[in-house]
Structure 1
Amino acid sequence: MTVLVTGGAGYIGSHTVVQLIAQGSQVVVLDNLCNSNPEVFNRIEDIIGVQPTFVEGDIRDRECLDSIFSTYSIDSVIHFAGLKAVGESSQIPLNYYQNNVHGTLVLCEAMAAADVKKLIFSSSATVYGEDAPVPYEETMPRGKTSNPYGTSKAMVEQILTDLCKSDPEWSVTLLRYFNPIGAHPSGCIGEDPKGIPNNLMPFISQVAVGKRKELSIFGNDYPTTDGTCERDYLHVMDLADGHVSALSALEYNGVHIYNLGTGNGLSVLAMVNSFMDVTGVDVPYSFADRRDGDLPAFWADASKAEKELGWSATRTLDQMMEDTWRWQSNNPNGYDG
């Protein structure tokens, strides 16, 4: 099986590429490197002994996509490519719609032209909207999203649903995942954001390694156990395994939706304290104003994925912290050293 992985040089994509190769798939990666580093491919080879085929390009470039589908015998596509920062999406919404929505349209057009109609889409728990009760279940309708990032994911989900209705040969799996953290246990690959991190764990680990002075916690007056936001954090390797498991769902036509999470909500303060307890490294922090688009608390009901895909999150919170710190302490400047 040959899988095209868009955005495969990124955080989640690179870990998924490792797991795909490990289970025997041939992998072609398409990435424009706007938020990733080509050094990741050398690291993947260090881990698994094989480098995936890499094409530098953009999913909005139809000519590039057509070339990939004509050159390689692609069986299915795992689509990660897109912008993903909640706060940033409120500042530059057009960029998010251009990359995430238009990019997916171009990808689907190229897939249809090549008669490749199996797609796993990297969606998000944000599509459940700001008023959905927790835990989130796949049977819930998409709700009122609280930021352009979430809206772009919801729009793509609707587009893909309509596509499957119009052409029953398509098989699309929507993976709604929650908050991936951690790194490959080798310490060779991990989360390497450019600029100031938008996600919690790389911010914590960069403070711990001395790259940043202190952690900013956005809001301490939410209606939660300690006033800070609560999220469903899962190990990125569990998430990667979820994508490999989801390939089985592509044998069935239509739209398939799965939550990938642990089913437990943990607060930002709990995550900071857990990191300090596990690593023994102090992480100074201060509270800042709430961030646009953030919801107080949400977590998954992931029982459907366990029942139908045989997948569940198995790695512990301690493992998430240990692997995060191994990656960051071994690579204080990410892939640049």
Structure 2
Amino acid sequence: MNRPRVLLTGATGFIARALIPRLLDQADVTLLLLEEFGSGAPLPATVRAVRSRVDAVYADLRNYQLTARAVRQARPDRVIHLAAVGVDDPFLSVSTALSHNVSGTINLLRACFEADGLDVQQLITARTPGERSAMNVYAASKAAAWAFGEMYARTAGWPIHGAMIYQTYGPEQPPNFFIPSALRAARAGEEFPMTTGTQEKDWIHVDDVVGGFLATLGADLPPGETVELGCGRSVSLLAVAHQLYDLTGKGGRPRPGALPSRPGEEPQQIADAERTAALIGWRAGISLNDGLARLVNSPGG
């Protein structure tokens, strides 16, 4: 059987760095990279590491013509859309969120499914559980983008699927995220200023997120369906911070309440793991205890 051709956006991001090596085991991969990388700008180290094993096309998703050209060049069977802005800055400007996350997604959808001569059998777009309350600019823009994807899926039958990614962590996560920030303070034996930390999240290791994407790829799902990539359990931020301090054993402590909470933040997020298992036959396999221990013991954590 021929290997599928998969086009991946957001190739320089945290999840893509873990996904690409495993995706290459079962597919021919083309990365959709920003135009600047096609004009001589240095590639990030993580992309350079796999560049000899992947193809690349170049575009700015905010530009429909450039996006359509790149998709025609790649001629993918399947597409994984990870590109977004605001993951680490949820209160970014509205204009930036709309142009990248909404217009960029719509341009990609149209480029995949309206062009003659293409046969894209599936497009998986990354979603966030924050879309449900949409209490910050990033989440609201992602919710708007999905509304268009769902509309096209249900009215035109385009094979668009969502992968709702819960609270991901793992090696080489950007340092301004919660777990890397807390771990850095714990390793230094310093206090860690934080919010009250009562918010409960469904924490999922990035290796499990990759497994969820691979299980969704090629799955027999109706257009417009979303699978939720999480463990189905929630643990508070404060409990996670305390666990990191216990694992490092360097002294110091979390300081809950030292920082204000974000307005409108949901008190609890939990993936419907049972429904995901029924849809794609996949469950997360790395417990939070094991995942945090791996991270603490990893030099790159």
Partner of 1:233: 203
Give aligned-pair identity as a percent.
24
Measured in 1, the distance between the counterparts of 2:31 and 2:183 equals 28
Q: Which amino acid aligns with 1:73?
A: R
**1:41·1:51 contact (CA, 8 Å) conserved in 2?**
no
Q: 1:306 aligns with which of 269, 277, 298?
A: 277
- Deviation of 1:65 after TM superposition, in Å, equals 2.4
- Deviation of 1:37 after TM superposition, in Å, equals 6.7
* Inter-CA distance 209–239: structure 2 relative to 1 (3 Å threshold): same
* Inter-CA distance 281–90: structure 2 relative to 1 (3 Å threshold): same
Partner of 1:69: 71
Listed one character per residue, the Cα deviations across residues 65-94 of structure 1 (whole Å, up to 9, x for unaligned) are: 2333232231111111011337x3335222
Measured in 2, the distance between the counterparts of 1:200 and 1:37 equals 27
Gaps of 5+ in 2: none
Name the SS for the 1:254 alignment partner. Answer: coil
Alignment of 1:63-212 (within 5 A): 63-85=65-87, 88-112=89-113, 113=115, 115=118, 116=120, 118-129=122-133, 145-168=134-157, 170-183=158-171, 190-193=172-175, 197=176, 199-208=177-186, 210=188
Name the SS for the 2:61 alignment partner. Answer: coil
Measured in 1, the distance between the counterparts of 2:92 and 2:141 equals 14
Moved more, 171-180 or 278-287: 278-287
Two-structure CA RMSD over aligned residues (Å) = 2.7
* Inter-CA distance 330–281: structure 2 relative to 1 (3 Å threshold): farther
> Taking structure 1 as the reference length, what is the TM-score of the superposition?
0.77
Gaps of 5+ in 1: 130-144, 184-189, 221-226, 332-337
Q: 1:289 aligns with which of 256, 260, 276?
A: 260
- Deviation of 1:291 after TM superposition, in Å, equals 1.8
Higher relative contact order (CA 8 A, sep 6+): 1
**1:6·1:59 contact (CA, 8 Å) conserved in 2?**
no
Q: 1:246 aligns with which of 193, 216, 219?
A: 216
Measured in 2, the distance between the counterparts of 1:293 and 1:37 equals 37
Measured in 2, the distance between the counterparts of 1:275 and 1:213 equals 12
> Taking structure 2 as the reference length, what is the TM-score of the superposition?
0.85
- Deviation of 1:316 after TM superposition, in Å, equals 1.8
1:40 and 2:46 equivalent? yes
Q: Which amino acid aligns with 2:259?
A: A
Listed one character per residue, the Cα deviations across residues 272-300 of structure 1 (whole Å, up to 9, x for unaligned) are: 12222334344543321112342222212
Name the SS for the 1:58 alignment partner. Answer: coil
**1:59·1:81 contact (CA, 8 Å) conserved in 2?**
no
Partner of 2:291: 320
